[in-house]
Amino acid sequence: MANLATDFIGIRSPNPFWLASAPPTDKEYNVRRAYEAGWGGVVWKTLGTDPPVVNVNGPRYGVMYAGDRQVMALNNIELITDRPLDVNLREIKAVKRDWPDRALVISLMVPCDEESWKEILHRIEDTGADGVELNFGCPHGMAERGMGSAVGQVPEYIEMVTRWVKQHSRMPCIVKLTPNVTDIRPAAEAARRGGADAVSLINTVNSITGVNLDTFSPEPSIDGKGTHGGLCGPAVKPIALHMVAEIARNPATVGLPISGIGGVTTWRDAAEFLALGAGNVQACTVAMTYGFKVVQELISGLSQYLDEKGIDSVGDLVGRATPNVTDWQYLNLNYVTKAVIDQDLCIKCGRCYAACEDTSHQAISMSADRVFEVMDDECVACNICVNVCPVEDCITMVELEKGTVDPRTGLVVGDYANWTTHPNNPSAREAAE
Amino acid sequence: MSSHRTPGIAAGRLPDQTLAQNFADYPPPLDAHEAAVAADRCYFCHDAPCITACPTEIDIPMFIRQISTGTADAAAMTIWDQNILGGMCARVCPVEQLCEGACVREAAEGKPVEIGRLQRYATDHAMDRGQPYTRAAPTGHRIAVVGAGPSGLAAAHRLARHGHDVTIFDARPKAGGLNEYGIATYKTTQDFARREVEWLLDIGGITVEAGKALGRDISLDGLRADFDAVFLGMGLAGVNALRASGEAHEGVMDAVDFIAALRQAPDRAQVAIGRDVVVIGGGMTAVDAAVQARLLGAENVTMVYRRSRDRMSASQHEQDHATTTGVKIITNAMPKAVHGNGQVSEIEFEYTAEGPDGLRGTGETFSLRADQVFKAIGQMIEGVPEGLRLEGGKIVVDDNRRTSLPGVWAGGDCATGGEDLTVTAVAHGRDAAEDIHRMLAARAG
């Protein structure tokens, strides 16, 4: 069986599944139960300075559902830990003592001055924790006080604080990044310049999950008012994957270890993060939806996958997809595919037809007896029919072989060629002249 | 008190509590959570097969989407725009042969979206809010509708919406037709048929003349003279004969009469039922009679059908319901003779075989004990007025549901076109009403 053990910046854990800094890791009771359930590590919920913050006493989570009330995303307006620092430190020490083989990283967020950071790093020194994670990500509540994403949105601050941490602590240091920026790369570059051992991302995405149409209050509603909160869960995974990939392939940050976070719900999600370059993953919403036990599916699924692929360890999976992330201009314009509908699998719902006919390229025909067929001379291979089909693998995209004629364009499928040399590209024309 | 084993025909075979359970709503209504879960399964198909399969062409994916987005009242309007008796159809339609049978999830998983129950969810909710339609400005036109069953009611409501004045004549004391008299009690509990008729009539402009039978109290010629148009929807009043000797024995009766009597009974414990009951026929009426005989406490109920199981017009779902209720189904057997001494005691059958020249007896016979024999071998039209062209025992109509007589339209079971179903009758009535309206508008213009 594949070896799921990981060594992430010197922090060992029996599997790559850590619980992210969040409500599930707020106290000893939860963390012990998480370890018992099989989680490889936890990032303890963010510690701050005393006196602790206070939370709202109304709802602190909002939700976004798919059909059948499937949780697609949670939004929270909870702050960092609202328990006294010494209580947290005592518990961390006790848990780590009993679970030496599990990773335990402490998330930190204190005001943006060197003394505050020096002080908290000193306080956590003898907990036995494996490392620290700098919370530069929370987009709500703390950001307005000059912490969290207020730091993460300014690369200079990231670099400065990271440098302080590395200067005042020998612990491995992970910098947690906010996705609430237009480009994630400068933040990661700043973390590296400051001496970070790794980055973790994404923290939550700024959001309002809904509006109550009776009271006209944003959700979650606190006495008729609402505020933006941080979104997490399956819905944010695509944003997270993109940002992880950007850091993994950015020449300025290549090789910088990444802890992947954002909507990890199944082993498959985790494997995707790993393939794009994350050295491990952190999860939260899946546990908040289903409880800690769900980690057993993550473990068994990843094991089976690695075995089936003949991959010996998690480390061997990391980054396998990274080289295949490229810029649009380098995509092969001579890669021609056509949608093919498997008539045996087709249940004749016609969603492919509606999507193609109304919103795409009118490339699917429908007969009186509901047989749906792709017209190759119209199909641009947009893939929307595949996306909306309720039956997996009923519609697939099949590549036209090199040398064949694309019935839509009348052109012979040729060798690799991209936009940079395409005659319609003004820059390519200039270069040729 | 009597029991399953009390000989002969007896009332009160079951305790009141058991009877109440037996005749409770079946299948029960969906609650809000169940409806949400069921609605989430709909794929919102393009040009959906379920719509095509519905004789009234309700936009099913749209009304289910409206349920799933929390607007059941809007869903009900989507249903009623096409089928004003959508509430009853949700209860009595053989959905597994119509919309649910066509559902792509039936193809995908063998488990269709529960369209019928979702339709009931929407219409039940919205019916509590009263009649949602209003009448157009009065046109002064008067239309006679014969028969207050599904086709007549659908025609009347549509005509009333268009501003016409409608008079419905019905031979029975209550309006509703088969909805009121012909459907199993457990399918339409809490007096739903009556409530639906009252709700429908709330649109105004419709007068019901109960106890007026065509050919007895009113004549087609008279209606044609007094009204601007006539719609005939009087159904099939006659019942086919067994063509077996001894049919006149006491205890041999029409299944529709048994079903009607049970529906109208103020106390089911007072409805007498045989210990041994034989139902002859293979349709929904046969199933309704057989199942209810069991529910009343008959010890042995046997349905006998002359052809094979797959030829039965009762759906598989109905057949399964019958057998689950404890009804024994015998196929390929036809009645030969009813025996008894005044009162039926036994019925003799002959096995049948399908040959090149049709069905024939094999000569092999068997007998069943019977205190009661219910005939459910189809109904026929009775008392057709002069001048109407008939074909296969039905009034012939064209695509617009016009009969061979000018100014006379027909629909429902008495006329040609489609199966003898409530939902088909509603479509007929609705379409005839639209054609009558077009005709009157053209004449006025």
ipTM of the prediction: 0.89
The listed CATH number (1.10.12.10, 3.90.1150.10, 3.50.50.60, 3.40.190.10) that belongs to domain B16-23+239-375:
3.50.50.60
Distance between CA A349 and CA A417 in Å, rounded? 37
Model confidence band, residue B173 (pLDDT cutoffs 50, 70, 90):
very high
Model confidence band, residue A149 (pLDDT cutoffs 50, 70, 90):
confident
Q: What percent of chain B has pLDDT over 70?
A: 100
What's the pLDDT at B357?
A: 86
Say yes or no: A384 contacts chain B, CB-CB below 8 A. Answer: no
Residue A351 has its nearest CB partner, among B37, B40, B43, at: B43
- A432, pLDDT greater than 70: no
B43, closest residue in chain A (CA to CA) = A349
Q: What percent of chain A has pLDDT over 70?
A: 99
- A430, pLDDT greater than 80: no
Encode pLDDT of A209-257 as tens digits. 999 999 999 999 999 999 999 999 999 999 999 999 999 999 999 999 9
What's the pLDDT at B271?
A: 95
Interchain pair A68, B40: CB under 8 A: yes
Q: What percent of chain B has pLDDT over 90?
A: 92
* Chain centroid to CA A176: 12
CA angle A427, A334, A355 (to 5 degrees): 100
For residue B57, the surrounding DSSP H or E stretch is none
**Interface A-B: count of C-beta contacts within 8 A:** 36
Interchain pair B104, A353: CB under 8 A: no
Say yes or no: B32 contacts chain A, CB-CB below 8 A. Answer: no
CA distance B30 to chain A (A): 15
CATH superfamily of B142-237+382-444: FAD/NAD(P)-binding domain (3.50.50.60)
Residue B46 has its nearest CB partner, among A351, A390, A391, at: A351
pTM confidence score: 0.92
What radius of gyration do chain B's Cα atoms show? 22
- A311, pLDDT greater than 70: yes
Overall average pLDDT of the B255-265 stretch: 95
- A433, pLDDT greater than 80: no
Spot the catalytic one: A112, A138, A173, A356: A138
- Chain A residues in contact with B36 by the CB 8 A cut-off are 68-69
Encode pLDDT of A170-205 as tens digits. 999 999 999 999 999 999 999 999 999 999 999 999
CA distance A404 to chain B (A): 33
Overall average pLDDT of the A314-321 stretch: 97
Overall average pLDDT of the A45-54 stretch: 95
What's the pLDDT at A137?
A: 84
- Chain A residues in contact with B46 by the CB 8 A cut-off are 349-351, 353-354, 366
Q: Return the CATH architecture of domain B32-127.
A: Orthogonal Bundle (1.10)
A349 catalytic residue (yes or no): no
CA distance A218 to chain B (A): 19
SS (H, E, C) chain A: CCECCEEECCEEECCCEEECCCHHHCCHHHHHHHHHHCCCEEEEEEECCCCCCCCCCCCCEEEEEEHHHEEEEEEECCCCCCCCHHHHHHHHHHHHHHCCCCEEEEEECCCCCHHHHHHHHHHHHHHCCCEEEEECCCCCCCHHHCCCHHHHCCHHHHHHHHHHHHHHCCCCEEEECCCCCCCCHHHHHHHHHHCCCEEEECCCEEECCEECCCCCCEECCECCECCCEEEECHHHHHHHHHHHHHHHHCCCCCCCCEEEECCCCCHHHHHHHHHCCCCEEEECHHHHHHCHHHHHHHHHHHHHHHHHHCCCEHHHHCCCCHHHCCCHHHCCCCCCEEEEECCCCCCCCCHHHHHHHHHCCCCEEECCCCCEEECCCCCCCCCHHHHHCCCCCCEEEEECCCCCECCCCCCECCCCCCHHHCCCCHHHHHHHC
Say yes or no: A309 contacts chain B, CB-CB below 8 A. Answer: no
Model confidence band, residue B243 (pLDDT cutoffs 50, 70, 90):
confident
Model confidence band, residue A431 (pLDDT cutoffs 50, 70, 90):
low
Say yes or no: B47 contacts chain A, CB-CB below 8 A. Answer: yes
Q: Domains for chain A: give ranges and CATH numbers.
A: 6-324 (3.20.20.70), 329-432 (3.30.70.20)
Residues 202-231 of B with CB under 8 A from A: none
Interchain pair A353, B46: CB under 8 A: yes
Q: What percent of chain A has pLDDT over 90?
A: 94
What's the pLDDT at B72?
A: 96
Same CATH topology for B32-127 and B142-237+382-444? no
Say yes or no: B46 contacts chain A, CB-CB below 8 A. Answer: yes
CA distance A96 to chain B (A): 44
Residue B46 has its nearest CB partner, among A347, A354, A390, at: A354
Overall average pLDDT of the A353-364 stretch: 98
Interchain pair B104, A68: CB under 8 A: no
| Domain range list for chain B | 16-23+239-375, 32-127, 142-237+382-444
Encode pLDDT of B92-109 as tens digits. 999 999 999 999 999 999
The residue ranking higher by pLDDT, A151 or B43, is B43
What's the pLDDT at B27?
A: 86
Overall average pLDDT of the A423-427 stretch: 92
